[in-house]
Amino acid sequence: MNQDEIRNDFPQLKQGFIYFDSGSTSLKPIPVLNAINNYYETLSASVGRGLHYPSYLATKSYDEAHEKVRKFFNGKGEIIFTKNCTEAINIIAHGIEWKAGDKIVTTYLEHNSNLLPWFNLRLQGIEVEVLKCETDGTIDLKELSKSIDNRTKLVAVTHASNVLGTIVPVEDITEIAKKKGAMVLIDGAQAAPHLKVDLDTIGCDFYAASGHKMLGPSGTGFLFINTQVLNRLKPMMLGGGSATDVELDKITFIKGGKIFEAGTPNIAGGIGLGAAVDYLKKIGMEQIKEHELELVAYLMDQLKKIDGITIHGPRELKKRTGVVSFSIKDIPAHRIAILLDEIGGIAIRSGNHCAFLLCRDILKEECGTARVSFYIYNTQDEIDKFIDVLEEIVKNV
């Protein structure tokens, strides 16, 4: 698919705005919208329960969507559909059998969704060690290894920073943690939409991601659970679909990953996520990454020409995703974002990006940063318009 064909698949772009905020949520292509509408127009039945034909078809489509996600990421285990990456991480936080004195190792690079669930466990006597990173997001693997001791039950790290775009060496981290007997959770919210992710090669126990950031519908995400650790988890909630039999004094729970999807799920969302995976597969993740890095290189070259600007994150393109955060001297990030929207109809993200520790303590940016995040539908022409408006802001503010 060429760039024009891709852009034509996103009706949102016909409104004329420039969308540089895919790190928050992506736009949705027509095939995904069609999949959602098709479910509601032709089926609109529940899954896993009814014996009628519409329920059979809905169940088939919903289960096939799980399998599409599993194969796309090459996961040897269970795929659980969630409402977002945050819920997926919380399923693990609530599912592991913790005891006082257990330890979790994480980093300053993390989004709050991969910090707050662990901090909350301190109330149960769990120690949380947060490892510092460099200003470009680099994690010292030797220091990480030192932090993992015989009390460490879990290492929880991001695959790619939502602020810096830094790609974290999760395969190396998993190997280090496994040798020391710790489980590994990876927050893949910013990596799954943009990189070719092979879960079998990474070898992690848990991988959480946002479906809505990878062209899927709002309210979708997924959690991969490695088969080897499935039985070490208890479900966060129970209800319809959790049991095969219930007596007053005995519950016979279902086997496998479906126990983590109690109640009627977001069926249309799940089917839409399957369609999103089909769309990404059609384009190819290598092509997506190449396109985004071309945009990043071009944007960074243009930004460097602006006085008073600081570009955050790795300088080497191969170490980053399509995220570029920057700061401009004497102009708060929120002010930049508001003016870009008002003057140019350009959408970016500003502030601490739910990564307070990173922005304040590592980057020393009390007001956060301005963030551009690209995806498959963005172009160099859009960057040129963005730079024109940004230069006008710097000149007049």
Length of the chain: 397
Q: How far apart are CA 54 and CA 47, in angstroms?
A: 9
Residuewise pLDDT in 10s, the chain (397 residues): 799 999 999 999 999 999 999 999 999 999 999 999 999 999 999 999 889 999 999 999 999 999 999 999 999 999 999 999 999 999 999 999 999 999 999 999 999 999 999 999 999 999 999 999 999 999 999 999 999 999 999 999 999 999 999 999 999 999 999 999 999 999 999 999 999 999 999 999 999 999 999 999 999 999 999 999 999 999 999 999 999 999 999 999 999 999 999 999 999 999 999 999 999 999 999 999 999 999 999 999 999 999 999 999 999 999 999 999 999 999 999 999 999 999 999 999 999 999 999 999 999 999 999 999 999 999 999 999 999 999 999 999 8
User: 278 to each of 12, 143, 231, 349, how far by Cα in Å?
Assistant: 20, 40, 31, 28
Domains and their CATH numbers in the chain: 3-20+284-396 (3.90.1150.10), 31-282 (3.40.640.10)
| Active-site annotation holds for 354 | yes
Q: How far apart are CA 333 and CA 228, in angstroms?
A: 45
The active-site residue out of 85, 133, 204, 354 is 354
Q: How far apart are CA 45 and CA 351, in angstroms?
A: 42
The predicted model scores a pTM of: 0.97
